[in-house]
Amino acid sequence: MVAETEGTTLSEADAQAKVDASHESFYQDLKTIFSKELKEKKNPYKIKRSFKKAFNGVSMTIPANKVKSLLKSNAVQAVWSDLKVQLDDPTTKVEGSGEQGPTHNMVTFPGVEKLHEEGYTGKGVKIGILNTGIDYNHPVGIKEDGKVIAGSKPVDYSYIPGGDVDKNNVIDVKDALYIETYWGTNKRNADINYDGVVDEKDMQFVIDNYSMQNPWNENSPKAVKKFKGKSLDDVLTDLGLE
């Protein structure tokens, strides 16, 4: 796809051959870069995993003082450190304080805490996230002969309806029953608007988008209007919303 955008024709076979060649070149360069250590029968590096599909590269362990040596290889364009990222439950409250608990364990930029104390939190600011990950099963992919390949169909996420809390690609009475089940709790999947409590605000998403199917899923099921003897109206009546 990248080659095509640059006006270059590149078949899948040629692209794969280039990837394989780059890996072979890298492995040969490693033998040259670390020839001294290898002659001394030392093990200066370890290839943990090779990537040749969504990402062209390797995952490896190497002494910190040897990282720059990798750049001697013409096959190496960049080197990234492997950092462990851990996300805490953002809905967790600090007991007794009524304040939102910490949302992550990452080290923030120096001075950010001071800005937060002064009221500058970034709330209301729209951001964009660029990610190198690729989901080959994403519905935006173009299906050919039962396979999903990369496509260029645009996605307008503003048209993906809210309220599908049971994640079955349609909003129906089952979603209303799910919200009813966790009414008044902080159940993450049922708390659509992320305010820490499952209430009428979350149910409103189901009401507004009732019977809507996920427009990006070709096999979205039809909406279930009655389940276990209950309809949407029954659920709303039980919750005192009608």
**Final residue in a domain of this structure, among 72, 101, 132:** 72
CATH code (residue 231): 1.10.1330.10
**Final residue in a domain of this structure, among 27, 42, 72:** 72
Tell whether 65 is covered by a domain: yes
Tell whether 133 is covered by a domain: no
Structure pTM?
0.39
Assess contact for 190 and 138: CB atoms under 8 A. no
Range of the domain at 51: 2-72
Query: 67-71, 158-162, 218-222, 227-231: which has the minimum mean pLDDT?
Result: 158-162
Q: How confident is the model over 25-69, as pLDDT tens digits? A: 998 988 888 888 888 878 788 888 888 877 888 888 888 888 888
Tell whether 217 is covered by a domain: yes
Here the tokens at position 36 are 């001294």
What is the rounded CA–CA span in Å between residue 177 and residue 206? 10
Report the domain count for the chain.
2
Angle between helices 200-208 and 173-181 (to 10 degrees): 180
> Given a cut of 80, is residue 199 above it in pLDDT?
yes
Tell whether 135 is covered by a domain: no
> Given a cut of 70, is residue 120 above it in pLDDT?
yes
Tell whether 145 is covered by a domain: no
Alpha carbons within 13 A on the beta-carbon side of 80: 7
Question: For residue 131, what are the contacts with CB-CB under 8 A and spacing of at least 6?
Answer: none
Tell whether 194 is covered by a domain: yes
Tell whether 37 is covered by a domain: yes
Tell whether 117 is covered by a domain: no
Q: How far apart are the first and last CA of the chain?
A: 53
| Percent of the chain at pLDDT exceeding 70 | 71
What's the pLDDT band for 241 if we cut at 50, 70, 90? confident
**Final residue in a domain of this structure, among 44, 72, 100:** 72
